[in-house]
Amino acid sequence: MASPTVRENVATLSVQKLAELRKAIAGMQAISDNRGFNYWAGVHGVPQWKCWHHNVLGNSNQHLTYPLFLPWHRAYLYHFEQYLKDIVPTSALHWWNWETPPSSPSKLPTAYSAATGANGQPNPLLKSHINYPASHLQRDTKRDSGSSPGMSLPTPADVQNLWTLSSFIAFSGQLENLHDDVHGWTGGLHGDMGTIAVAAFDPIFWAHHAMIDRLWFIWQEKFGQGTGIPTHMLDSVLDPFNMKVSDVLHVEALGYTYADSSSQVLI
């Protein structure tokens, strides 16, 4: 049986793993059909609008919670990662640990902010091209990180608070709040990460959501993988993927896991 893919912290990726990720992303960006970056980014907002966010209310003013936020995005990342692997079989989606102490300035990981990669070529993690002329979008993605008033990245204390929430509904809601903050800070006033419409076209979206998925993974390790998911949700279909909620509860069954930690030193 093949070993699971190990997703790692982008800040401590080896030169080789970062190069694999960049090669795979660049490969997807060069494909204009339904294997390509533009297509898969377009599943989230423009033009397909398939993502799940937020809780909504029913007619009776009771919570009609649709907490499919975590399962849907897990299926989304799984599919995206498979297309990366079609290009570079050893590539993986790695996570951006955006936890930032209040005393430190919020910032993007170098892997995603550098203009070029180690090979001197343009860094495909910096931006992508949005190509949906029917939706009036034909341009490169942009970032304006840190420019939105009052926004900062979540703190370690914010993340620690997640481990006090034993209810899946409460955990999912609070994690989504942190998720919203990261989108807001990263996009800034004029960038693309800040709205559902175009967020997934920014390559850092995938590292941000790998972090979200990792935090759910850690929560599942702590409280149990099936724990707390309302029974009526388990058969919910995660459109447009050929998966139900019950299919995405165990990351090992999807062929990946998360590194506990990683570090490196330049010699």
Partner 1 sequence: MPDATIPKPQYYTSPALTLSADPQVLNFTQALLEFHGVDHRTWSYRAAIFLNNPKATEKTAPNLKSHYVGYFQVFAHGGCFGDMGHCEVQAAVRPYDSRRPHPLLPIVKTVDISAGLKKLLPKGGDFTVRVVAQVTNGTEMCDPHDEFLKFNRIRLITRSE
Binding site for partner 1 (CB under 8 A): 45-47, 49, 51, 53-57, 61, 63, 66, 132, 135-137, 148-151, 173, 177, 179-181, 183-184, 187-198, 239
Q: How far is CA 161 from the centre of its chain?
A: 20
**Can you tell me the distance from the alpha carbon of 211 to that of 179, in angstroms, rounded to the nearest whole number?**
9
CB of 67 to partner 1, least distance (A): 11
The residue among 139 and 222 lying less far from partner 1, judged by its C-beta, is 139
| Closest distance to partner 1 from the beta carbon of 261 (Å) | 29
- Angle between helices 69-87 and 37-44 in degrees, nearest 10: 180
Rounded distance between C-alpha atoms, residue 54 and residue 103, angstroms: 30
Give 48 or 262: the residue with its C-beta nearer to partner 1. 48
Given the complex with partner 1, which of 49 and 118 has the nearer CB atom? 49
* Cβ-based nearer residue to partner 1, 60 or 263: 60
Q: Tell the burial category of 113 from Cβ atoms under 10 Å away from its Cβ (0-12, 13-18, 19+).
A: middle
Could you tell me the smallest distance in angstroms from the CB atom of residue 46 to partner 1?
Answer: 5
Residues 6 or more apart whose CB falls under 8 angstroms from that of 46 comprise 130, 132, 135, 137, 197, 198
Task: Compute the least distance from the CB of residue 44 to partner 1, in Å.
Answer: 11
Quote the tokens at residue 158: 């914010």
Alpha-carbon distances of 211 from 62, 80, 180, rounded to whole Å: 31, 15, 13
Q: Decide whether 1 or 56 has the Cβ nearer to partner 1.
A: 56
87-105: b (≥16 Cβ within 10 Å) or e: bbeebbbbbbbbbbeeeee
Q: Which is nearer to partner 1, 26 or 46 (CB)?
A: 46
Cβ at position 158, least distance to partner 1 in Å: 12
CB of 137 to partner 1, least distance (A): 7
